[in-house]
Structure 1
Amino acid sequence: LICADIELVKQKEAMPKLPVARIMFRHKPNFEIGTEGWCYAGGAHHSVISTALTRADIALFAKLTGTELITIGEDTKEADLLHLGERK
């Protein structure tokens, strides 16, 4: 399970011809680390965005279900990406 912190961004104009969900966001801590982290962690092109659940909620779910969790957020540094996928 990958949990990436993001910031929702208001669209500048409507996108009525886009046949999918219309949401824009910025990766945290920045575009480069956020997208590299997502790819290195094995993130797919399918994702879920929640405005109700926090990182702590997702971490609790992972703990209760015995699911591996990788988090990417404000505290993620470029060096952290080198170790994604390694077992502790």
Structure 2
Amino acid sequence: MCTTVIVEGGKYLPWLTKRFLENGGKIIQRSVQAFDELCDDYDLVLNCAGLGAGRLASDPKVQPIRGHIVRVSAPWLKYFVHSDDTHYILPQ
């Protein structure tokens, strides 16, 4: 079981990028045809593919939506959380 968080990308992604780089992370931009190409080389892949996400994941059920989804393990969270902002948390 995990928790899905949908965040406002315009605010969250710059913050996440800054934290990632400050902690020694490296961003590599390259063309790929499928996520399988990355499995042996990377521990984490942040999918920002948008319209091409289903093709990259080889899953026709993957559809682009507005917003960004961050999936985290939070077994202690049992309830739906929604704020007056655009953020909400949905336990699966």
Assess same fold via TM > 0.5.
no
Q: TM-score, normalised by structure 1?
A: 0.24
Q: TM-score, normalised by structure 2?
A: 0.24
